[in-house]
Chain A
Amino acid sequence: MQPLSTSPHAASTPATDPAGPPIVDFQSVTKRFPATGEGAGDFVALSDVDLSIRRGSITGIIGRSGAGKSTLVRLVNGLERPTSGRVVVDGTDVAALDEKGLRAIRRSVGMIFQHFNLLSARTAYGNVALPLEIAGVPAGEIRKRILPLLDLVGLSDRSSLYPAQLSGGQKQRVGIARALATEPKVLLSDEATSALDPETTRQVLALLKQVNADLGLTVLLITHEMQVVREIASHVAVLDKGSIVEEGDTYSVFSRPAHETTRAFLEGVTGVRLPAFVTSRMESEAAAGRSAVVKVVFTGPTATDPVLAHLGRDLGIDVNILAGAVDEISGKPFGTLVVAIDREVLEPARRFIEARGLTCEVMGYVR
């Protein structure tokens, strides 16, 4: 692949954020795990991570397994301690707290899990009651708080059922109700939809989006599925081998991915699958008589403009559409088209397209 144009993504957060100080702020956080094998060095799970999570955002942290996602999210509620650096949650450095101080913080940080982690011996109601019992809320008060929560997640009629009697999606709803019981400011989601089917995943994500909007709760979710990020995240950070390689609002990162890992993740969601008759004939050399296979990404206000039609009309360059998709990210249109353009007119075509704020990238050449 030979990118003709890359626009490096501006990853910096504005100094004066209208949302106020970040709700979670990782400041040069490093986490090493002691070596397990003979002669092996320490395993560095996170190295010098700086990341600010905006208050009220849904921030997705994406990375491959082993990239350090789980460790990062567990630093927020002190389930893991950083080797160095600060993790500031709503003004408090949790890394400096002792176990007792952490318990108080943990009540303001809810968490949901990939395998739900519901107590099998308690009903849906009993599971939602658990964090309140732990916090020492009186029994009468607990009852008053649980019913609206079960209502919120749509399980009022399932409150007396045990987890084994619930479907995966229902279990995760119980998990969400449980995480919300202590009225936290942050909700941590550890691959919460990875064990669910696509339909159920959408429902659970819709619920997370709803609680984010209704309760003003910040959601910090880790996932290995770009789909999840695209669906609900307003912001995204890409974690690779313990470092944040790219971050920003989801639309910018998706439309102009700068890092290889981000591109690889995006391939599955925003990428278009080329038909086999194209891929099998594709060459990397630009020999005479070949057409360039160009990926054009439509973003922002121009995403719906008929740029290719103009290309034909204004420059007389005809393109052959090979594949395409129009999508929506964070509620904004986003399109990808793969077209074949005669090699002779590639340069003017490219300039024309880029002048209209679209990106294009030559994927290869076909005869």
Chain B
Amino acid sequence: MSANLLWLIAAATRDTLFMVAVSALIGVALGGPLGIFLATSRKGELFPAEAANRILGMTVNAVRSTPFIILVVAIIPFTRLVTGTSIGTAAAIVPLTIATIPFVARLVESSIREVDPGLVEAARAMGASPLQIVFKVLIPEAKPSIILAITLTVVSLIGYSAMVGAVGGGGLGDLGIRYGYQRFMPEMMLAVVVVLIALVQVVQSTGDLLSRRADKRGRKN
């Protein structure tokens, strides 16, 4: 493989990492709180808001049930509004983020719901406010599970980011399609797949490690 091709792979990897990192960051920053709200806003919970819970829940379901490739095309006007263009790496970040928010929200919601309700009751009995319960009990107790949720999100984003290549998004997926498929360069296709596999492995192992470190439940002397 020529130096030129290696350079292409390096550049595509950088683009992928950039897209994944930015959309994961924004996605978690917005999807995390949304997930916490979904987990705590039903009747009788910390922030009871039945109607808001239902509307947000339906919105989340709607976005999640739209196939990603359709979502990319459907929100092009919005993408153009945000980034001024509908092609390129920056433009790809918009649909990636939009898809990530509800994904993270549902995962975080289930992480939070797994926290023993007895702990919430104990905190209430101590006189904790709902926000104190969220920050001192729910998030710390759900942390190992939330780390795994974020790991899963990043892994899925690596996969999704390969799809935005189809609309000129750049990155590894784009490289694989244009060189590996359209120019019929199997070695390029193989290289792209190997890099993607490596990325996913690194992300998953790091996430597993961090989650294990945060988890004090199974700890023995």
| Chain A contacts to B: CB under 8 angstroms | 77, 79, 102-107, 109, 111, 113, 115, 117, 119-122, 130-131, 133-135, 161-165, 182, 188
7 smallest A-B Cβ distances: which pairs? A106-B127, A117-B122, A103-B127, A131-B126, A162-B216, A111-B125, A117-B118
Q: Chain A: interface secondary structure?
A: mixed
**Shortest distance between the CB of B123 and any CB in chain A (Å):** 7
The reply to whether A135 and B127 contact each other, CB–CB distance below 8 Å, is yes
- In angstroms, Cα B125 to Cα A135, docked, is 12
The reply to whether B218 and A77 contact each other, CB–CB distance below 8 Å, is no
- In angstroms, Cα B122 to Cα A113, docked, is 8
Can you list 23 pairs linking A and B with CB atoms under 8 Å apart? A77-B125, A79-B121, A106-B126, A106-B127, A107-B127, A117-B119, A119-B119, A119-B137, A119-B141, A120-B141, A121-B141, A121-B143, A121-B214, A121-B216, A130-B123, A130-B126, A133-B136, A134-B126, A134-B127, A163-B216, A164-B217, A164-B218, A182-B127
**Shortest distance between the CB of B135 and any CB in chain A (Å):** 10
The reply to whether B218 and A106 contact each other, CB–CB distance below 8 Å, is no
Chain B, 161-187, CB within 8 A of any chain A CB: none
Chain B, 207-221, CB within 8 A of any chain A CB: 214, 216-221
Q: Give per-residue flags for B98-136: 1 if the beta carbon is below 8 A from chain A beta carbons, else 0.
A: 000000000000000000101101111111110010001
- In angstroms, Cα B122 to Cα A188, docked, is 12
- Of the listed residues B123, B125, B137, B221, the one surrounded by the most CB atoms of chain A closer than 10 A to its CB is B125
Question: Apart from A119-B141, A130-B123, what 9 extra A-B contacts exist at CB < 8 Å?
Answer: A79-B124, A103-B128, A106-B124, A117-B119, A120-B141, A161-B221, A164-B219, A165-B219, A188-B125
The reply to whether B121 and A164 contact each other, CB–CB distance below 8 Å, is no
- In angstroms, Cα B126 to Cα A107, docked, is 6
Task: Return the chain A residue nearest B139 by Cβ.
Answer: A121
**Shortest distance between the CB of B211 and any CB in chain A (Å):** 12
Chain B interface residue bracket vs A: 20 to 34
CB within 8 Å for A134 and B123 given contacts A120-B217, A122-B140? yes
- Residues in B with CB closer than 8 Å to A104 are 127
- Residues in A with CB closer than 8 Å to B125 are 77, 79, 106, 109, 111, 188
Q: CB within 8 A of B216: which of A103, A120, A131? A: A120
- In angstroms, Cα B141 to Cα A163, docked, is 13
The reply to whether B129 and A162 contact each other, CB–CB distance below 8 Å, is no
- Of the listed residues A79, A120, A188, the one surrounded by the most CB atoms of chain B closer than 10 A to its CB is A120
Q: Chain B: interface secondary structure?
A: helix
**Shortest distance between the CB of A177 and any CB in chain B (Å):** 13
- In angstroms, Cα B124 to Cα A109, docked, is 11
Task: Return the chain A residue nearest B116 by Cβ.
Answer: A117
CB within 8 Å for A162 and B219 given contacts A117-B121, A119-B137, A121-B141? yes
- Residues in B with CB closer than 8 Å to A163 are 216
**Shortest distance between the CB of A103 and any CB in chain B (Å):** 4
Task: Return the chain B residue nearest A163 by Cβ.
Answer: B216
**Shortest distance between the CB of B51 and any CB in chain A (Å):** 20
**Shortest distance between the CB of A306 and any CB in chain B (Å):** 51
- Residues in B with CB closer than 8 Å to A162 are 216, 219
- In angstroms, Cα B140 to Cα A188, docked, is 26
Task: Return the chain B residue nearest A175 by Cβ.
Answer: B122
The reply to whether A165 and B127 contact each other, CB–CB distance below 8 Å, is no
- In angstroms, Cα B221 to Cα A107, docked, is 33
**Shortest distance between the CB of A47 and any CB in chain B (Å):** 23
- In angstroms, Cα B218 to Cα A162, docked, is 10
**Shortest distance between the CB of A157 and any CB in chain B (Å):** 13
- In angstroms, Cα B217 to Cα A122, docked, is 10
CB within 8 Å for A134 and B132 given contacts A103-B127, A117-B116, A121-B216? yes
- Residues in A with CB closer than 8 Å to B220 are 164-165
The reply to whether B219 and A134 contact each other, CB–CB distance below 8 Å, is no
**Shortest distance between the CB of A145 and any CB in chain B (Å):** 14
- In angstroms, Cα B126 to Cα A130, docked, is 9
CB within 8 Å for A111 and B127 given contacts A162-B216, A164-B219? no
Task: Return the chain A residue nearest B118 by Cβ.
Answer: A117
- Residues in B with CB closer than 8 Å to A135 are 126-127
Q: CB within 8 A of B118: which of A107, A115, A161? A: A115
- In angstroms, Cα B132 to Cα A135, docked, is 10
Q: Give per-residue flags for B132-165: 1 if the beta carbon is below 8 A from chain A beta carbons, else 0.
A: 1000110011010000000000000000000000
- In angstroms, Cα B125 to Cα A109, docked, is 8
